[in-house]
Structure 1
Amino acid sequence: MEPRSTACAVFLIPELVLLVSAYLSSSDVAQCIRVCKDWSRQFETHLWTNFCPSVYFIDSLSFSPHMNAALSENSRHIRTFRPAYIEETLLQVLARGLLQQQDDTTEDPSTLCTNLWRIDLKQLIGEDYTPVPWHSHIVTLLCHNQRLTCVTVPLELLQIDVSTTAIAQLRHLRHLAIFSLDNEGTSREILLILEACLPLPELTKLHFFEMRVTWFQGDTTPDGSGPEAIIEEATITRFSHNSSAKKIKSLRLPSNGLGSFNPLPLLLLKSDLLDLDTCEIPGFSQDEDIREIELIVRERCPRLKHLRCPCFKYERQDGRAARAFIRGCTALQSFTSHMFSDYDAESIGEEGFYDDRDEFEPRLIISELLYRHDSTLEAVLSRCKKLTRFWVMCDSSGNSMGAITSTHISLSDWVCMELRELGLTLNLRPKDSELYLRMNRKEIADWSEDDHDAHVAYQQSMAITTKRVYTQIGRLEQLEELALQIDRSHETCQSESDYACNLTLYKGWLGEMAGLKNLKRLRIKADFWSAMGQAEVEFILEHWPLLNEIAFGCDLAHIYAAPHWQWLRIKRPQLCFASETQP
């Protein structure tokens, strides 16, 4: 009895319980609750801290009085609200007490949902929701949670007039992210948001994403305020009465049509509201001077380190703006893009699209990036000792941009031993190899003995090179996330099946990665799993003790049906399988 009573006594200290629970997942906290009544009382409140209700939980609210009462009783403990699904019953329970108190109905303030720090509805993107029924409840939560620091909500929330007023009262707000359920917004809505949030003294991240807006000359809010007046007034309000007010460090603006009028980017870049560390390259008006953009970035954004290139294809103006940002950055550390189409210098010349800069200056975004900030992608791995993230992942539609060959990334020893996240798109046998070009001119039946010998030697060379890649990965003892994709474009002469054995023990190089003791997430977007069997999952269980998620680029039904993956789930119940079929 003594050990149990001692353990219970230790967890009577609330500060200790709070510290321990910060390192536990929701399932871990649930296990603690089941230990004994004392632990249940101490840990139950922390089970509600990060409230991410599932579809099952939300559906249960409609017919389970017990579930309904539990949510009402514990809503005061919720700090993060991140639903995977929206149903009006859920929001009614959270907002009911707030509305009753607002109507002067007797309600115990200690039971109300008034302690939120974060509201995140971004998982609703792409879902078919009718926003009107539940938006009023979200607005109620915003109005009664003045300590909110992070808010991610749909643009359609502005259909309710008091929503921008509620946002304007969040004096502790640090991160505001706005998305649109139908990917479209109006300039009036954007101006209303800016009018509400730009004066907030703690706001450092302002993100609009998955949204396109069309601007017109003279667009204003209902009270007649245009973008220039709003930015000027926000600057005065933000800094005149608050010497400790912060500037916006991370910015992502709505996209606009190719070259169409867009007043926001230059107005914000020229203002005193920004001190950018991270930025998605915005779209500019067609008539904007690219040299001016470059100069403003260099002078007004000296600490800009992380650039994100928006997804665009065959839009010359966006490419010019991206190159202007790259040239203007003097401290660039990372460049990220989901996908974009770079320009071919020769085709641009043929179509007469040259700008009036030096004729010999690089015109491709990637070449501009490498020319200005590093020589090659693989050089980063062998030079940057303090690198913590290296992510080169292509989409699965055949676009090879960013794919790197095994030969390139195995030329030198990697020195980035502090790497935490690694994503690679591999091309084990590029078509530009000398042997491929020579062999491709002949039928296999016409090969000479020397041809066959050269082919065998090439195969052996590629095997050694590929093994070296996995050996290099295995040396990254601090690595927490590993993602592997393959080049599916016309730039490779291998198919997906040629990679199937890479993560096996007997025909591949899984054993080279036994040193990844801190690996938590494995994302295999190509078919590295079909050749894996019982020996491989036993290796995972033994050598990767912290692994808690494997994301497969296939339907999980194929994984659940395999007995060796079932065995691994039984042996490690906390391991989560996910499907990652998107880029």
Structure 2
Amino acid sequence: MAMTIATCKSLAQQLEPILWKHLTIRVRQPARESLTRNCHIIESIRIVGLNDIFFENVLDILQYLSTTTGPRLDKETSTSCVTLKRLKRIELTNLIYASGLLTMFNYCPKLTYLDISCTMLLKDPNSARLFRQALSDNLRQLEHLRLNGLFATTKNVLPLLVVCFLHPQLKEMRFKFSMKVSGNREYSHWYEDDQEEEESQSDQGDEEFGVDPELRWVTTSLENASRSSDYSTSKISSLTLPSYRRGYPASFLVLLLRYYLPNIEAFDIPWGILDANLQEECPKMCFKLQHISFSQHEFHAPYELDAYTAEIKSFIIGCSSGVGLKSIRAYHFDEGDYHFVHDSLLGVVADNHSSTLEEVDFRNCQSVPSLSIQNILSTCRKLTRFNVIPASGSASVYFNHIVNGGQWVCLDLKELCLNLKRSSADYYDGTETELGKAEAKYVYSQIGRLVRLETLRLGYMGDLSKEQRESFELNLTLKDGWLAELQGLVELRHFHMASDFWSNMGQAETEFMSSHWPRLQTITVGSPLSWKAGHYEQQPHWQRLRDRKIKFLYN
């Protein structure tokens, strides 16, 4: 395609407007001539994996794309800025020098989506002021704003909050935390100036909102703005507040959501200071709330976990007075080695939202009780996605809990991710009992009833020896196992074996998959080392699946 365009000018003129409409930039950059010829066509720019970016003027962001080193380029005349007026979307993973980007905002009147890392942008007071001015005056059509690397304790963030809350078109506002990665896990990262500011305010403790000068300034500014003749109610429907290490007082959240952000449908519940007012006020401010998420913090004292759990429960129960909760998401985000989902949360969700719940996504969770999982699956008929991936195997489903808990009613489920756990009768014994066999068959038959399932991920509790596991959780053979119970999954596209289900499989099992799962596209197995060490990829029955265009992926 590239060679054809390069050699045929007439074809290039027809195809380039399509190919250049959405531009993703990595290490290799497009030719400057092509950029110059097509920059008026570009509607979205995404820069990935570049660390040293220097913008000198409005067009440097486009000129930079033609290089790999990011040199400072000659300035262009302002008349060239007309080429950016079709630009609707900008995504920058790194931002070192902000002034060029701020200037560029003056010439992007149609920009609707902005996702940038703004640590440098807001640490400089002048840049922060120009950014607020750009949001207020130039980016009037902006609907989605995602800012990475923010904390409410960072200077200039709270004034930005006020500008965003008063923006006429903004619908999504996500202030993401700054991240650092260690191995396969992500942790929050607190900047030194944030730590110093927190330490200077640590003596305030769990103060009332009324004497918190920073947050009081936010609500006072909103109150004053609401009195003006041109004030309009915020359209923001999706909100993630910047991290506030002291915690947001409940009274602040109540005032914000009830009076100034009445259209919230998706809310990331921040760590807050609970009071009785929240439990009472939540039903009054959650009429439209349908999607909630929360981070799994490390709590250093039991009362902290209990307080945050009570805060989350208040929102879950409050949603029941409105349209009802459709999704709940818990994501791992802390500084320590432990992360929790309180045992009672899923039970509260099932009790209050069984008629509306569609998605459950708990990743890297530590404590999700088996009975709560069974409760969701057996009561929520509209459920389409159930993803519970534990960090250490504890969020597993006991087979006997499923047997005793009734049939699953979520027959429209499209994605299911579970860890299975043998019942107590077989737990410490390598020899499975007749009761254990019956329970296992019943569990797999429940999965087999999910005829609309497109993605299935199965794992096991990880602290048993292979000898104890292989005849029970890991047995997905046709002769002695439970693979036959899954023959009804005619819509299955992605089969993820998070544990070693594959080592005992042979030609009969792969033929079964091929014939009963006609839409199968991918099979995910263990790590490349364990898969290749067993020479499984060379075995004829797996090779036949490859020949049928089924892709093999690794955990």
TM-score normalized by structure 1? 0.66
2:132 maps to 1:164: yes
Distance in 2, Cα, partners of 1:255 & 1:150 = 22
Give CA deviations for 1:380-409 in whole Å, capped at 9, x if unaligned: 444444332233x132234x24x3234444
Does the 8 Å CA contact 1:30/1:47 hold for their aligned counterparts? Answer: no
1:292 Cα offset (Å): 0.7
2:36 maps to 1:69: no
Q: Residue type of the partner of 1:104?
A: T
2:502 maps to 1:526: no
Task: Specify which of 318, 328, 348 is matched with residue 308 of structure 2.
Answer: 318
- Equivalent residues in 2 for 1:180-579 (5 A)? 180=149, 186-211=153-178, 226-233=217-224, 235=226, 240-241=229-230, 247-257=235-245, 264-285=252-273, 288-289=274-275, 291-314=276-299, 315-316=304-305, 317-330=307-320, 331-338=324-331, 340-341=339-340, 364-373=344-353, 377-391=373-387, 393-398=388-393, 400-401=394-395, 403-409=396-402, 412-427=406-421, 429-430=422-423, 433=424, 435-436=425-426, 455-473=432-450, 475-476=451-452, 479-488=453-462, 495=469, 499-502=473-476, 508-510=481-483, 512-513=485-486, 516=489, 518-529=491-502, 554-555=527-528, 558=531, 562-563=537-538, 572=549, 577=553
Distance in 1, Cα, partners of 2:507 & 2:42 = 42
Does the 8 Å CA contact 1:265/1:283 hold for their aligned counterparts? Answer: no
Aligned to 2:43: 79
SS of equivalent to 1:294: helix
1:284 to 1:31, Cα distance in 2 relative to 1, 3 A: farther
Does the 8 Å CA contact 1:97/1:107 hold for their aligned counterparts? Answer: no
1:311 Cα offset (Å): 1.0
Q: Residue type of the partner of 1:486?
A: Y
Does the 8 Å CA contact 2:258/2:284 hold for their aligned counterparts? Answer: no
The structure carrying a bigger strand percent of its residues is 2
2:34 maps to 1:60: no
Distance in 2, Cα, partners of 1:496 & 1:51 = 49
Distance in 2, Cα, partners of 1:539 & 1:200 = 56
1:89 to 1:176, Cα distance in 2 relative to 1, 3 A: closer
SS of equivalent to 2:244: coil
Does the 8 Å CA contact 1:155/1:189 hold for their aligned counterparts? Answer: no
Q: Residue type of the partner of 1:484?
A: L
Aligned to 1:145: 108
2:118 maps to 1:118: no
SS of equivalent to 2:237: strand
TM-score normalized by structure 2? 0.69
Aligned to 2:360: none
1:464 to 1:117, Cα distance in 2 relative to 1, 3 A: same
SS of equivalent to 2:145: strand
Distance in 2, Cα, partners of 1:251 & 1:471 = 38
Does the 8 Å CA contact 1:164/1:196 hold for their aligned counterparts? Answer: yes
Aligned to 1:175: 144
Does the 8 Å CA contact 1:60/1:67 hold for their aligned counterparts? Answer: no
1:82 to 1:236, Cα distance in 2 relative to 1, 3 A: farther
Bigger shift: residues 306-315 or 375-384: 375-384
1:30 Cα offset (Å): 8.8
Q: Residue type of the partner of 1:419?
A: L
1:191 Cα offset (Å): 1.0
Distance in 2, Cα, partners of 1:88 & 1:494 = 53
Q: Residue type of the partner of 2:281?
A: I
Distance in 1, Cα, partners of 2:523 & 2:3 = 22
Aligned to 2:77: 104
Structure 1: unaligned runs, 5 residues or longer = 1-28, 345-363, 445-451
SS of equivalent to 2:168: coil
Distance in 2, Cα, partners of 1:318 & 1:516 = 39
Does the 8 Å CA contact 1:308/1:335 hold for their aligned counterparts? Answer: yes
Does the 8 Å CA contact 2:420/2:473 hold for their aligned counterparts? Answer: no
Does the 8 Å CA contact 2:286/2:315 hold for their aligned counterparts? Answer: no
Does the 8 Å CA contact 2:500/2:526 hold for their aligned counterparts? Answer: yes
1:335 to 1:97, Cα distance in 2 relative to 1, 3 A: closer
Distance in 2, Cα, partners of 1:30 & 1:576 = 29
Distance in 1, Cα, partners of 2:479 & 2:415 = 27
Q: Residue type of the partner of 1:341?
A: F
SS of equivalent to 1:255: coil
Does the 8 Å CA contact 1:100/1:106 hold for their aligned counterparts? Answer: no
Give CA deviations for 1:325-383 in whole Å, capped at 9, x if unaligned: 23333223333213553568xxxxxxxxxxxxxxxxxxx44444445455954354444
1:468 Cα offset (Å): 1.0
Does the 8 Å CA contact 2:235/2:263 hold for their aligned counterparts? Answer: yes
1:116 to 1:505, Cα distance in 2 relative to 1, 3 A: farther
1:470 Cα offset (Å): 3.7
1:43 Cα offset (Å): 4.9
1:166 Cα offset (Å): 2.7
Structure 2: unaligned runs, 5 residues or longer = 66-71, 179-189, 202-210, 333-338, 355-370
Does the 8 Å CA contact 2:266/2:289 hold for their aligned counterparts? Answer: yes
Aligned to 2:357: none
